[in-house]
Amino acid sequence: MVAPNQDTREEVIQAWYMDDSDEDQRLPHHKDPKEFVSLDQLAELGVLSWRLDADNYETDEELKKIREERGYSYMDIIEVCPEKLPNYEQKIKNFFEEHLHTDEEIRYCVAGSGYFDVRDQNDCWIRVWVKKGGMIVLPAGIYHRFTLDTDNYIKAMRLFVGDPIWTPFNRPHDHLPARKEYLKAFVHNEASDHAVDAAA
């Protein structure tokens, strides 16, 4: 049951600051005490989110509208689990290398769940747990990584503007225009806002 003012996205997308443990990457890695991050805070980093009807993703009008508004002309489905993904161990290792892309990364979880880790303005890791019905957009230029959780399964829709380019640029790639534009839009902008606040 959802409280009247609760954001229904929070039922399928949750985020928190990670601990520094080297334990299994598929564990939640909460800090002690737990330190949650709101979806509004994620939006300040450029990470957008929706809750959609995953049981009817092929005919969902809301998804169709988002795709039209944002120009997501390409779509495919990927299943990440040991049984379905060729070269699984190497792929999971690659996904968990910190990297960026020069385009948005759009993932819509239609079954299962997984963790998308993103860096905040202070370079700390935030773990974003996306479950069935959750869709997130990671902006071009943000450092991030992906891993499954302990259920070891996600089925995700991948969307893209035009022909898909999945090239990961492992950190450091700060010289790329996409990284510079990201910093200007979301990090330096945030820092200057805080400076104004402090001076006021």
Annotated binding-site ranges for Fe(2+): 99, 101, 105, 144
Specify the amino acid at residue 45.
L
Distance CA 190, CA 45 (A): 9
Residues 141, 183 contacting (CB under 8 angstroms): yes
**C-alpha torsion sign, points 92, 64, 74, 162:** negative
Reduce the DSSP state of residue 98 to 3 states and report it: coil
Binding residues: 99, 101, 105, 144
Tokens representing 22 are: 């080297």
C-alpha distances in angstroms, 87 versus 26, 99, 107, 144, 148?
A: 18, 20, 21, 21, 15
Element (H, E) at 181: helix 177-182
Radius of gyration of the chain, Cα coordinates, nearest whole angstrom: 17
Distance CA 72, CA 59 (A): 16
Reduce the DSSP state of residue 5 to 3 states and report it: coil
Binding residues for Ni(2+): 99, 101, 105, 144
